[in-house]
Structure 1
Amino acid sequence: MSRTVYVNGSYVPEEEAMVSVFDRGFLFADGIYEVTAVLDGKICEWDGHVGRLERSLKEIGMEMPMSADELLAVHREMVKRNNMEEGAIYLQVTRGAYDRDFLMPKQVKQTVVLFTQAKKLTGPKKGLRVISMPDIRWGRRDIKTVQLLAASMVKSEAYKQGKDDAWMVEDGFVTEGSSNNTYIVTKEGKIVTRNLSNSILPGITRKSVLRIADEMKMEIEERPFTIEEAQNAAEAFMTAATSFVTPVIEVDGVALGDGTPGPVSKRLGEVYIEESVKASI
């Protein structure tokens, strides 16, 4: 049975879901996306995701395609129509269809697409092995645009080398993973993660995990760190909307700790999922 997809106000079978070849998301990557986790048939971190969507759209000169409440209703309908208990909802908003022109058009109807991906998000995590690669992305990574070619390239290279992901490095410091925020835990137990700026995405999971860590009286330092620091750390982890807190057990061939997920990342992951389930809507 095919999925039901939302396209510009209509719920249609995925085989019938279509957008124009002139859509600026296709021609220029002129669009914004969000991915929201679903647990127990409910939507996680909604306020954070819709708030970031609105900010990202504003940064590229676009308005919200509908109100936050209307958008939430569409998300809930997608969960219902696809009988989804656990997985993700992908939302994409582009500037719309217009004859190819580098000048951004005015008063064009936006394209709004949503689809679901049913998959297991919870359960034990064995830990990821990552490589480092140069960060070749554009300068406004704080905007969640659909231009993900660089991220796809580094992730694919990691898989080619038999690893799980890549950490991108700029000016000697780690920025992000291919689709996640990055952290190390020093031997003294301090959590270190890069501070917010145009260089990284302001992760919704990142914000919640740092709040949880603070409430658990863990020491946090927001600053850039190097690959060498990561290799000398007690443990490391990454956060993202649908992978939550994922331990990292190897960086550029160097095992962290005893080569298994560390206690800090495991505990943060457990508490984050517990809180997300309670707060889901």
Structure 2
Amino acid sequence: MLCGSCKNKTSNERCPSKALKNLQFCGKHAKSKNPRLWANVNPVAESAVKIQKIWRGWFVRYLLDMAGPGVLKRSLCHNEEDVITSEEKVHPFNYFAFHEDGKVFWFDIKSIFQLSLDKLKPINPYTRQELSLETRKRMKECIYYREVRLLPLFYDPLYLTDSDKVLAMRWMMISQMLEESLFIDINPMFFIALNRTQLWEFTAMLRNSLLLWAKEHKNVHSRRNIYYVWAHSCWRRQTLEAATPKQVCHYLGGCLLKILKDCKQPYEVCFKILSARHSL
């Protein structure tokens, strides 16, 4: 850490010397009776606070926009309580709502997300109508935010302890994301039913396809190259490990889900995934 004093009595520049251990100043300024603090001469704290305020304000507004209509005015909502927990109020950052036939339906984000994994085409549990594509994508964006910050994703705390549920969840999410990229009616069993050899061949073809795609960019740090590295690691693990088809489906599903979540425009990746699957 640099010395916290100015160079001298007339300069406003910071002293370039390193501060002594456990002290704020270098050896020279530590001996001074009244050192001029560089932070006082160059007050940046106020500017930093303003920047933080602007950023926090924008981020809160972004989260409220993702939550949907009625987040700050619940009188607009058609239903009075959450469909699963029966709670009448939730925190705005746990709130999720959408318009349907001129009505606003609200949910706890954990409830509607877990319910959405029951079917390939998520539905509104109150009306049994399919959720719009815009609503599904907005819900996924809310879930990604919670996932990155390690916030709970499901109303059932034991959901992720069941390996069969986790396997079904991963491939259901993959199938839903394929459909959201306009590849319709892709059932999760289309992948889960593959045997050990087919899973290896599928991963190998996808890896080769991603490699050719990555070579279009010269930058080795491009996202395309990173996707190839992830797919190659998954293929190599299948090659070296004596895993069961179920175990392979687990980590292969995790790899594909990570790629699809990271990709801002997933259409090309979805196309390559289905091309590899149909090549078997």
Bin of the TM-score, shorter chain as denominator length: under 0.3
Normalised to the residue count of structure 1, the TM-score between the two structures is 0.23
More strand by share: 1
Give the number of the structure whose alpha-carbon radius of gyration is greater.
2
Q: Which has the higher contact order (CA 8 A, sep 6+)?
A: 1
More helix by share: 2
